Structure 1
Amino acid sequence: MPFHEKLGRCLPALLMTVLLTACNPELEDGDSTPGGSTPGAAIPDCDDPDGSVPGDTVPGDGEEALIQLNDTGVNQCQDHRVLSDHSDNSYVCFTAGASETEDGIDHEGDLVPGGQDATIGRDSAALKGSLIKVGHGDAGFDFSKIGPDGNVLPLASADWDCVRDNHTGLMWETKTVVAGDIRSLGNTYSWYSSDATTNGGYVGTEIFGACVGIAGCDTEKYVSAINEAGLCSFHDWRMPSRAELLGIVNFGEVGPAIDETFFSHNGTGIYWSADTHASSIDNAWYLEFNRGSSYVAPKSQYYKIRLVRTVF
């Protein structure tokens, strides 16, 4: 890789490493959860074949967080039919000879164009067996199950409360199917925030969902209740940005478009984000997990919530 490209690729992450180490020496050894280690502010390998770009910026609930971005989860390439009686096919790209820069040919003689999503990035590296993960996950995703004490659990664990994304540095709430549980999948909440710095200029609708376990079914009260309870021994949970929600969507799957090994009680429902629509402030963005599509709706609507917190 030319030096100027390598510098542009690495500079954001190198700056993040210096800042994090200077401001919080505890991150030097990567230990940022109670009793468990997480990837810290390690200097990146700029020639890493996983194709990720260090230091991508994703907005998060009123502030900007410097994080890595997940890949899409798409790990197959599509062909172009040469003859009308040929089938439309999906292929593991490199088995058809397709790569980031080269076209391939499938078994019917149809063109498999190179440069498709599945030829680039973490998903491609995972398929080839060259992607090193801290935990596990579909395609290029790298997740770990987290127990109530904040510690990492084995993959085979049948009971966990949170999921840590080892690539983005985010930790996610998991839902339950237990009747009466505050985190029950069936609970819904209206969008409400009294914080003028994050509500986009309109507070939304207070207490207009249908839930159990808390006094008031809106997003602000749910965040407060989860932080008071100390989910997974943490008290800094927040609403996710739309971009953060999109980061756990597996676009290679449908119904639900998410890794069910870790988000087993996700469902295909609609989840609120923290983001207000820029030109229509009485609306907020949400994401549906059937296909991973994102739209806006009035803040008076009542949808599900999946909270997030920043680990590193």
Structure 2
Amino acid sequence: MKLFAVLSLLCLGLLTGCGGGGDSEDANIVASVFAGEDQQVVEKTDFNVVAQGSPAGGTFTWQQVSGPAVEGFPLEGGEQTITAPDIKADSQLVLRVSYQTSEGGLVTDDISISLTSNNLLPQAVVSQIAPTTLPSVYSDIITLSALDSIDPDANGEIVSYSWSLISGPNLEVDSYTNSTLSFPHPLLESNSNLKWLLMVTDDEGGESSAEYIMTLNKTEQIVIADAGEDQVVSEFDEVTLDASGSEVTTATYKCNWQQLSGNAETLTNSSQCTTRFFASDVDTATELNFEVTVTDSKGRSNTDTIFVDVTQKPLGLINDTGVGECYNNTQRINCGSDDFLLQDAELGRDSFANRLDKVGEGNLAFDFTKLNEFADEVSDDSSQFSCVRDNVTGLVWEVKSPLSGVVPNTTLRDGQNHYIWDLGNASSVGSSSGGANTTCPSNTDCGLQTYIDEVNSTDFCGGTNWRVPTYSELLGLIDYGKQGQAILLDDNLFPNMADKTALGHLRFWTSQTAVDGTSLSQAYIIDMSDGNDLAYPKEDTAYVRLVRSR
């Protein structure tokens, strides 16, 4: 039992005296209030509270002290009917009643209401919402939904979903915890029953479950071969053919690839589901067609094809550098290092030289064909040839004749002959006339134009359009892979070079004047011993190798 709250009020009378006598009067007024016994009620139900106050005639006021919010407070009157609030968990509600007497006294008392949650359990509901056309067939995406599940509580909601496959074939399910669940219709040899269990949980922890049974139909084609998507690649690219996306109902299967059309390619392993090849050198865009046969462990098979379009690489008509090795700061390393990326040997024509369809011979991607004095092709191993054709650029290059004596007592195209830069035109400004029979056997002069005219007059190698090469043309002959050797040219293709000791260098003229802003007295040379270029005085002599277009 709760104790009454008591307030004692003392009213003092006035004591007066007259004639040596008197009297007195005390008045004690005690106020009290009782809110009632503590209660236990269920959420959302009505309950009554009745307060008792003394002395009679006072007023009652109710207020909420703590607990979940209750509408309507404060309330006036000793007896009240209150609706317990909607709660998610058991709670405690404390109410306080205040009683004020007519004389102005005020007393209070609290009552505790234990609120019990009365959660209504959710209802789990499963439905199939895809595909729209039933029955489903192989590769259809099947979707089950739990969105029709409900929480009957007025302010309740379902907060989690959990799907389980109780029985049935293995499936590729997107998620087991979403409100929907999707999976592709698998390849089936016979009809299969699936049993699903859905568990839903509401925001008060209430759970319920539902089972769902469905049937998946067998597939007409038991083996599905998949050769992959058609591809577009460039010549020399490594191409992967992958049939691992094929499907069978047995535990294992095997593949066998064959080429149906296009340039013959060499597959790394045609009996594997994944095989590779390097696309061949092509002159025009080429289409390749491959077929894979997939066979399951019961001997049942199916085929699929793939087209691979091979295009030319945009290499242009220029030679690469001839560098076929990669290096770090101090030594040779395997190409492809992440620490030393994009080295010359990994880029351009040289990087796939072993797969080039070359016409002639040459280091890495260099491709030269030997020609006789009539410009007819001769065998690569011939030692009798007068010029060479560059099969990459299409240019035809002069091959020097064997060393024949001491300058100037040499033959016309002897590799020892050297010339001043004089092309007999306006760009020859700054050069001087080369003396006759000085650094070459000419009786006219030892200038470049005289040499060109004399060679053209012989219809050398079937042409009369021989000229001095441009800077880029001459640079295209340099094989930088021969660094450290005496000559950076293939001496099998360009024999009869002069001895470097004669002039102290192997500098060869280009046709391009070096514009230094003050004069036109220098032209570019390229040194065949180290590959360097230099703006060189036209009045000095250097070697020359003529070139012509076909």
Q: Give the TM-score normalised by structure 2.
A: 0.40
Aligned to 1:36: none
If each structure's strand is expressed as a fraction of its own residues, which one has the higher value? 2
Q: Is the 8 A contact 1:52 1:69 kept in 2?
A: no
Deviation at 1:214, TM superposition (A): 5.0
User: Which whole-Å deviations, capped at 9, do the CAs of 1:213-232 have from their partners, x for residues lacking one?
Assistant: 55211100000000001111
Aligned to 2:511: 274
CA distance in 2, matches of 1:143, 1:214: 34
Counterpart among 275, 291, 297 of residue 530 in structure 2: 291
1:220-239 equivalent positions in 2, closer than 5 A? 220-239=449-468
SS, match of residue 341 in structure 2: coil
Counterpart among 118, 122, 131 of residue 356 in structure 2: 131
SS, match of residue 456 in structure 2: helix
Which ranges of structure 1 fall in alignment gaps of 5 or more residues?
1-5, 7-41, 55-67, 81-87, 105-110
CA distance in 2, matches of 1:203, 1:44: 50
Partner letter of residue 490 of structure 2?
D
1:235-250 equivalent positions in 2, closer than 5 A? 235-250=464-479
User: Which whole-Å deviations, capped at 9, do the CAs of 1:153-211 have from their partners, x for residues lacking one?
Assistant: 10111121111100001111011212321111111111112222xx1x61622224511
Aligned length: 229
Deviation at 1:52, TM superposition (A): 5.0
Partner letter of residue 332 of structure 2?
S
If each structure's helix is expressed as a fraction of its own residues, which one has the higher value? 1
Aligned to 1:53: 315
Misfit runs of 4+, over 6 Å: none
Closer, same or farther: CA 156–214 of 1 in aligned 2, 3 Å = farther
Q: Is the 8 A contact 1:144 1:166 kept in 2?
A: yes
Partner letter of residue 302 of structure 1?
T
Q: Is the 8 A contact 2:321 2:481 kept in 1?
A: yes
Greater mean alpha carbon deviation, residues 300-309 or residues 250-259: 250-259
Pair 1:264-2:495 in alignment: yes
Partner letter of residue 206 of structure 1?
S
SS, match of residue 232 in structure 1: helix
SS, match of residue 351 in structure 2: helix
Aligned to 1:309: 548
SS, match of residue 145 in structure 1: strand
Partner letter of residue 383 of structure 2?
A
Q: Is the 8 A contact 2:416 2:497 kept in 1?
A: no
Aligned to 1:108: none
CA distance in 2, matches of 1:246, 1:220: 21
Aligned to 1:207: 434
User: Which whole-Å deviations, capped at 9, do the CAs of 1:92-148 have from their partners, x for residues lacking one?
Assistant: 52xxxx1xxxx35xxxxxx4x22111001111111xx21111111011100011100
Counterpart among 162, 165, 176 of residue 387 in structure 2: 162
Q: Which has the higher contact order (CA 8 A, sep 6+)?
A: 1
Counterpart among 328, 350, 362 of residue 79 in structure 1: 328
Counterpart among 74, 82, 89 of residue 331 in structure 2: 89
User: Which whole-Å deviations, capped at 9, do the CAs of 1:66-91 have from their partners, x for residues lacking one?
Assistant: xx1100111111125xxxxxxx2224
Q: Is the 8 A contact 1:284 1:299 kept in 2?
A: yes
Q: Is the 8 A contact 1:214 1:225 kept in 2?
A: no
User: Which whole-Å deviations, capped at 9, do the CAs of 1:231-288 have from their partners, x for residues lacking one?
Assistant: 1121010111111110100011132111111012235511111110122411111111
SS, match of residue 222 in structure 1: helix
CA distance in 2, matches of 1:155, 1:135: 7
CA distance in 2, matches of 1:219, 1:188: 9
RMSD: 2.1
Aligned to 2:417: 187
Q: Give the TM-score normalised by structure 1.
A: 0.68
Aligned to 2:201: none
SS, match of residue 171 in structure 1: strand
SS, match of residue 271 in structure 1: strand
Closer, same or farther: CA 43–275 of 1 in aligned 2, 3 Å = farther
Structure whose CA Rg is larger: 2
Which ranges of structure 2 fall in alignment gaps of 5 or more residues?
1-233, 235-282, 287-309, 501-505
Counterpart among 326, 332, 348 of residue 121 in structure 1: 348
Aligned to 2:112: none
SS, match of residue 491 in structure 2: coil
Aligned to 1:63: none
SS, match of residue 153 in structure 1: coil
Deviation at 1:297, TM superposition (A): 1.2
CA distance in 2, matches of 1:225, 1:165: 23
